[in-house]
Amino acid sequence: MTPIVKICGLSTPGTLEVALMAGATMVGFVFFERSPRNVGFQQARALGAQARGRARIVALSVDADDDALSRIVEQLSPDILQLHGRETPSRVIEIRQRFGRSTMKAVGVATPQDFAAAAPYDGVADFLLIDAKPPADAMLPGGNGRAFEWALARDFRPRTPWLLSGGLDPDNVAEAIAATGARGVDVSSGVESGPGVKDEARISAFIAAARGAFAHASEGVG
């Protein structure tokens, strides 16, 4: 698949513009009130208008009901609905059919056995997001800035395009791509100076490092 670089949790026009200009292929906006990256609908509309046609727009939600998803689709009109909760495969299918949007299902992993949890979504979701499993006491879903052992994903080859997430940053994303063979990466806290505060320099550095690593892998070097 064409390499994907996704910057998630964007919330300001300035940092979004940096991501777009640097070559992000997906930009993500969070609709989850407990997250420091949560955006309101008015804010999301403006950011979506800025990004439309320049990158694929992703709306992240966690176990959202149909009413909540309807509002997200109405206000942001995303290209992709990222499902970061405990949505079942049947729920993923239902969401895709009801809202007519591509879906991305996040699956948390920490051990080789955890990859089995992705199997029921393979061929069901349009994208898989392989993220670090959150700690037992975590207040938020997702990797919470932690990485899993990348070597575990080396032989992960689903039919569905997949992105690697969890603990990535500008300094380690090239290593992560080389270790996993991933053709897509997703970052949020790894390009922040504080919770929910995106850092423009780190965004640019991450995208440059990821794109360089993908090009290196395509050349068959190393």
* Phi, psi of 202, rounded to the nearest 5 degrees: -70, -35
Return the closest-CA partner of residue 82 out of 184, 150, 201. Answer: 184
> So what's the pLDDT on residue 149?
86
> So what's the pLDDT on residue 152?
87
Overall average pLDDT of the 47-51 stretch: 98
Q: What rounded mean pLDDT belongs to the chain? A: 92
- The model's pLDDT over 85-112, given as tens digits with 9 standing for 90+, comes to 999 999 999 999 999 999 999 999 988 8
Return the closest-CA partner of residue 27 out of 41, 35, 49. Answer: 49
> So what's the pLDDT on residue 144?
45
Angle, CA 18 vertex, CA 174 and CA 208 arms, to 5°: 20
Cα distance between residue 173 and residue 217, in whole Å: 13
Q: What letter would DSSP give residue 39? A: -
Contacting residues for 171 by C-beta, under 8 A, at least 6 apart: 209
Q: Are 6 and 27 in contact (CB under 8 A)?
A: yes
- The model's pLDDT over 143-196, given as tens digits with 9 standing for 90+, comes to 445 678 888 888 899 999 999 999 999 999 999 999 999 999 999 999 999 999
Contacting residues for 82 by C-beta, under 8 A, at least 6 apart: 8, 28, 58, 59, 60, 61, 103, 104, 106, 129
Q: Does 61 have pLDDT greater than 60?
A: yes
Q: Does 37 have pLDDT greater than 50?
A: yes
pLDDT-above-90 percentage for the chain: 82
> So what's the pLDDT on residue 217?
87
Q: Does 136 have pLDDT greater than 60?
A: no
Q: Does 219 have pLDDT greater than 90?
A: no
